[in-house]
Structure 1
């Protein structure tokens, strides 16, 4: 598959639950929404989007604190929840006037988000693509979520006060990205990485989501029991296979197969690819989206 030139991007800000969110819309046709994993920004999908825009209206957005989106207020906000993330996806689509069904694509942690969206809003889901999605069977959250969230905020505030994100944020982002690709490089534009990862808001968002990770995994287990996916909904599990036959790789792929079996999904191992599949195999991500939608 050869990527055509990308059409003009329509970038805007939508106020969702009082927070201005950065949103980008490209292409035309049936709608697909792309949302990234822990610490991701909109540009992490840049290599995938040109494959999709001739056939799909592609929506990308930054969750609060990430990319160009504003942070949530320092106080008085609930801890991150799957119900909240499902509502955020719905609100973004509604704010864009895209009220019909869409194919929701979630990478890593955001696989939880899009699955919850399909279960909570079954009439809005045309398909699901879970790109190397998080898998946490029988998750047991730690106690005191509000206290943990407050601690995450405090830690981010203290680190920001001594310029930790400004000094080390972009380098940390690049190091993690290199570890998560088989090509061992961060393909995101360096100026955008500096702009988005030097901020305390991105660190706070990352720490808050990381702190609530097991809570959301447990919430998804409850949701799976209470809210079935729409009958006949096409679901694809796209699993990253780095080509190494290590125990870690085999265990990860086994978990992805189990997730596909649980959801009645099409299981697609993709090699060679690290966790950032959209960097290593953007064509495979796009093919999964087009086939699923």
Structure 2
């Protein structure tokens, strides 16, 4: 295990979880909350949120395999699933000796992961926060998941052999992040972006998660039918409102309200904010986490 410390970011460590070295950050004090990001996200995407939380919460962040500083998953690993990511969250907390209830907050795709965690591990869940979470009203799993996973791995390997991630990865990351904020800038540290997004492992992780997105949505829909959320669990849905009042914005906010109604959650919106609301409104993100307590 390797440890380092940054006063503003907390303690960094590598924890072996299910045989894979994962990069984990822990900082702050008080009840535990865990923050996990969406497709292609790294730990530093939460940097603006952590200072709002650290005086009141022990804040845990981690990179899923292949992202940030975490090692990639071996080729023999099964395809990504919501239940598997819920297990990973629990294993990360266990590796840190944090065995009590935890408030889990997931952004975008990771909203699937934290909701699955709350359903499958109710005794470990103190609160649930979905931050502009992915919404699929009637998802259907796609056929041949193993073949699709193999194709995603092969595409990532071919792109890596052609140096595509090294040449274009940081630039694509910057463009996507800018498109996801109302300020049209990526606030993540440039050296970290270059270090983390030049790698083939990050591209492979992204392609694999994207390939199985609808499968994961369908899996979560099944969990919603079979495994209820714990009674009395505080749930918050925080939606990003870009303030433009266009059709696309209104449809997205309506979908987020419907998600809140489905889960019996408190609905909030924050404006102006793009999909990366942790950049545009870190204060609102922190407030949603702090207010969601059993």
TM-score category, normalised to shorter length: over 0.9
1:1-293 equivalent positions in 2, closer than 5 A: 7=8, 9-73=10-74, 75-293=75-293
* Structure 1 CA distance for aligned equivalents of residues 62 and 222 of structure 2: 27
Cα distance, 1:180 vs. partner?
Answer: 0.2
CA distance in 1, matches of 2:285, 2:64: 21
TM-score by length of 2: 0.97
Quote the offset at 1:287 in angstroms: 0.5
Structure 1 residue 6: Cα displacement: 5.9
The structural deviation recorded for 1:246 is: 1.0
> Does the CA contact (< 8 Å) of 1:26 and 1:58 recur in 2?
yes
What is the CA deviation profile of residues 33-70 of structure 1, one whole-angstrom value per residue up to 9, with x for unaligned ones? 00000000000000000000000000000000000000
Deviations 1:187-210 (A, max 9, x none): 000000000000000000000000
Q: Give 5+ residue unaligned stretches, structure 1.
A: none
Paired with 1:267 and 1:111, the residues of 2 have a C-alpha distance of 15
Q: What per-residue deviation string (whole Å, max 9, x for no partner) do you get for residues 255-280 of structure 1?
A: 00000000010100110000000000
In structure 2, relative to structure 1, the CA distance for the partners of 1:6 and 1:254 (3 Å cut) is: farther
Q: Which secondary structure state, in structure 2, belongs to the residue aligned with residue 183 of structure 1?
A: coil
Task: Report the CA distance shift for 1:8/1:106 in structure 2 as closer, same or farther (over 3 A).
Answer: closer
Moved over 6 A (4+): none
2:9, 2:50 within 8 Å by CA — same for their partners in 1?
A: no
In 1, distance between residues paired with 2:187 and 2:9?
21
Structure 1 residues 217 and 206: CA distance shift in structure 2, 3 A: same
CA contact (8 A) 2:238 2:288 kept: yes
Partner secondary structure for residue 236 of structure 1: strand
Gaps of 5+ in 2: 1-5
Structure 1 CA distance for aligned equivalents of residues 282 and 176 of structure 2: 19
> What value does the CA root-mean-square deviation take over the aligned residues?
1.0
In the aligned structure 1, how far is the partner of 2:155 from the partner of 2:218? 25
Q: Distance in 2 between matches of 1:182 and 1:78?
A: 37
CA apart distance, 1:7: 5.0
8 Å Cα contact 1:7/1:53 also seen in 2: no
Aligned length: 288
